[in-house]
Amino acid sequence: MEEKRAKKEEVIETEIQMGTVHPAALEPYRVRFFVEDEIIKDAEITVGVNHRGVERIMEGLPVEKANALTEKICGICSNSHVWNSVRTAEKGLEVDVPDRAVYIRVIMGELERLHSHFLYLAHGCEVLGHETFSMRVFYMRETIMELLSMIGGNRVQYGCAIIGGVRPRCELDDNRIQRLIDGMNKTEEALTNFADRFLHDTMVMSRITGVGVLPQEQAIKLAVSGPTLRATGVKSDLRTGMYEYENFDYDLITQPDGDVKSNLLMRVLESFESIKIIRQAVKNLPSGPVSNRSWEMFDCDIIESHIEVPRGDLYDSFAIEDGRIRSCLIRTPSLANIGAMQYACIGDSITDGQLCIVQCDPCFTCTDRAVEIIQLDKNDKKMMRK
């Protein structure tokens, strides 16, 4: 009797899944790595775990109530969401915002940029396995969180911006102004110390240099924005076109390589620029009221607004009908940035895969939306995504 011989097996594909819960990710998502000899050949990122239907909930709500709801989209960039939602309504209703309120909004925006960038740096160091650096950055971030709480009354969801300005509780008196000055001095000293140690740590630098490279042309093709785009050398920052930043002097930071190192350095160097902007806003804070409530509600067609938030281009649009929101659409920068990370991790080791994905500072809760693909014409192959 002939011996049965085992059939020779051929491995067609090796897939390694991470998520939806992973210790290196702050939010749930799923990534599939297709690997060959422990090198990533392709990747697929799936989001949608946090979808809550915010845009649908906003449909039909009174405008100011809908503005307040946008803060619930994200806990990290809550001020950014309400600022752009309010800004959209102001644009349609032709509301003039007092100069003092504009400066306070800028201060809040840059404080949020600092706390977001610090959270990213701390998380990045954690993924790198450097707990000491991670804890040092979290300690720096605590100063920023205290300042945000001082102005808005909360550490998260500060409720600062309203149509026509900012809430009265966000007014800056002499005591608050001095605390802001002291906080910026303390933060700059701590950030300088961290940056010096971080950049001179040869083990960290060797781990992040040349890893997760996103070429400039690919970043542009995939509509990447914010620090992730500037990390590829593209000089693009929506603050240069925002009227709120017309009176502020700051440098537009870029990095040349589009790798993890460039993305980390972007957040470090941009944090220094945020400190610079806050100091200018405090020093040149205009006198006068912090809100203008003498505006009237009327119907508006679709209104659009883009602003630069910590992760890039935040887009809001909606119409106003009988004082209520219609046709609401919110697009966050992470939508494009996360997709680009599928490309950035290809060619790297599986051990660096998670590091490559989190280098864009993804915000999955912000990103999760319902997407419709609409064919405009049966004879036209072009599709529209909304």
Rounded to 5 degrees, what angle do the CA atoms 295, 297, 300 make? 120
Rounded to 10 deg, the angle between the 99-128 and 174-199 helix axes is 30
**Full DSSP string of 3-60:** PPPPPPP----EEEEEEES-TT-SS-EEEEEEEETTEEEEEEEE--TT---HHHHHTT
* Residue whose C-alpha is closest to residue 276's, from 254, 249, 312, 247: 249
Q: How far apart are CA 324 and CA 299, in angstroms?
A: 9
Q: How far apart are CA 63 and CA 223, in angstroms?
A: 30
Whether the model clears a pTM of 0.85, i.e. scores above it, the answer is: yes
Structure tokens belonging to residue 295: 């505006």
Q: Which residues fall within 8 angstroms of residue 241, CB to CB, at 6 or more apart?
A: none
* Residue whose C-alpha is closest to residue 162's, from 245, 55, 64: 64
- 10 Å Cβ neighbour count for 16? 14
Q: How far apart are CA 187 and CA 198, in angstroms?
A: 16
Helix (H, G, I), strand (E, B) or coil at 316: strand
Q: How far apart are CA 111 and CA 117, in angstroms?
A: 10
Partner residues linked to 308 by β-bridges: 313
pLDDT value for 383: 43
Q: How far apart are CA 191 and CA 278, in angstroms?
A: 15
pLDDT value for 1: 46
Q: How far apart are CA 380 and CA 289, in angstroms?
A: 53
Structure tokens belonging to residue 334: 């992470």
* Residue whose C-alpha is closest to residue 329's, from 374, 376, 371: 371
- Give Dmax (Cα) for the chain: 100
Partner residues linked to 17 by β-bridges: 32
pLDDT in tens, the chain (386 residues): 455 555 667 767 788 887 777 666 667 788 888 998 889 999 888 887 777 788 889 999 999 999 999 998 888 889 999 999 999 999 999 999 999 999 999 999 999 999 999 999 998 888 888 888 999 999 999 999 999 999 998 888 888 999 999 999 999 999 999 999 999 999 999 999 999 999 899 989 999 999 999 999 999 999 999 999 999 999 999 999 999 999 999 999 999 999 999 999 999 999 999 999 999 999 999 999 999 999 999 999 999 999 999 999 999 999 999 999 999 999 999 888 988 998 999 999 988 888 888 889 888 777 776 656 566 665 655 444 44
Strand order in the sheet with 312-321: 300-309, 312-321, 324-331
Structure tokens belonging to residue 233: 């050398």
Residue position matching structure tokens 């090796």: 14
